[in-house]
């Protein structure tokens, strides 16, 4: 690391990425000062690094001088497997699900203790929902999350349940014993459901996507619908069939990598 560190003992690369990490959904546009403060860097350092990030278009600037995440970073990010592989393979299946039912369709993966949303299809008639692409929500409060958690390694489930379980609505299952019973039921039944556990007025039904034998699911698929339209079990066969289609395409792609 010689020549690659400054007085703060932080590498140049990690400081450049600290600037990128200053942006989030609540802060998609930042002045230089705010960006430096959120990244924990002196303004002069932030200014110099921002110029380099701007040259690569990892950052772009608005006409008023505010910084935003740049176009080239978006393009590079699309090459991550979650987008270039999972999302690309799943999209026509999601589209068919949407077309047949006209309800919100979600695709999510597990990352750490979070449900991470990879795709979300919605029309103007769908129930408004909290998730957007890239959103993170608690596993135990979402349908996709329960489908992922129900089939995770037992040690992971234990670690998850030992942490405080946030209560998103008054219907969220936030007691450890109840959650474990719910996960067990989810495994037996083959699909997960929620009823106003993440947002009042909406419920969901979800299935896991397995792309290899025996492991944890790669992803989960869900419909999220108005509570008063809820006939969740009726939506399961379409989800199961889409999940099988996606799983088989993912397995093909993995074999192509290996060869």
CB of 59 to a second copy, least distance (A): 10
**Residue 61 binds a second copy (CB under 8 A):** no
DSSP character string of 131-155: --TT-EEEGGGSHHHHHHHHTS-HH
Distance between CA 223 and CA 59 in Å, rounded? 35
CB within 8 A of 150, min separation 6: which ones?
183, 184, 186, 187, 192, 208
**Residue 122 binds a second copy (CB under 8 A):** yes
CB of 170 to a second copy, least distance (A): 29
3-class DSSP state of 78? coil
**Residue 153 binds a second copy (CB under 8 A):** no
Contact call for residues 196 and 169 (beta carbons, < 8 A): yes
**Residue 175 binds a second copy (CB under 8 A):** no
CA angle, 95 then 80 then 35, to 5°: 110
CB of 173 to a second copy, least distance (A): 27
CB of 60 to a second copy, least distance (A): 7
Helix crossing, 143-150 with 176-189: angle to 10°?
80
Site for a second copy in 68-97 (CB under 8 A): 68-71, 73-85, 88, 91-93, 95-96
Residues lying near a second copy in the complex (CB under 8 A) are found at 1, 3-4, 6, 11-14, 16-17, 20-21, 23-25, 28-29, 48-49, 52-53, 55-56, 58, 60, 62, 68-71, 73-85, 88, 91-93, 95-96, 98-99, 102, 111, 116, 121-124, 126, 132-134, 257
């Amino acid at each position: 690391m010689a020549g690659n560190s400054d007085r703060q003992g932080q590498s140049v690369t990690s400081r450049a990425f600290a600037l990128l990490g200053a942006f989030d959904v609540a802060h998609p546009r930042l002045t230089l000062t705010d960006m430096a403060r959120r990244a924990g860097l002196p303004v002069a350092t932030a200014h110099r690094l921002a110029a380099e990030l701007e040259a690569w278009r990892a950052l772009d600037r608005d006409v008023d001088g505010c910084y935003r995440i740049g176009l080239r970073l978006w393009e590079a990010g699309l090459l991550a497997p979650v987008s270039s592989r999972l999302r690309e393979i799943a999209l026509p299946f999601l589209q068919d699900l949407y077309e047949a039912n006209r309800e919100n369709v979600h695709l999510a993966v597990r990352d750490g203790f979070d449900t991470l949303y990879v795709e979300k299809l919605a029309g103007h008639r769908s129930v408004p929902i909290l998730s957007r692409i890239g959103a993170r929500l608690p596993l135990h409060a979402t349908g996709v999350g329960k489908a992922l958690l129900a089939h995770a390694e037992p040690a992971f489930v234990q670690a998850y349940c030992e942490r405080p379980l946030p209560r998103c609505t008054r219907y969220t299952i936030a007691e450890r014993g109840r959650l474990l019973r719910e996960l067990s039921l989810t495994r037996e039944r083959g699909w997960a459901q929620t009823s106003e556990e993440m947002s009042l007025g909406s419920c969901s039904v979800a299935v896991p996507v397995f792309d290899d034998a025996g492991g944890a699911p790669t992803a989960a698929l869900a419909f999220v619908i108005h509570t008063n339209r809820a006939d969740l079990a009726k939506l399961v066969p379409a989800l199961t069939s889409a999940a099988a289609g996606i799983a088989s395409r993912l397995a093909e792609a993995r074999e192509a990598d290996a060869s």
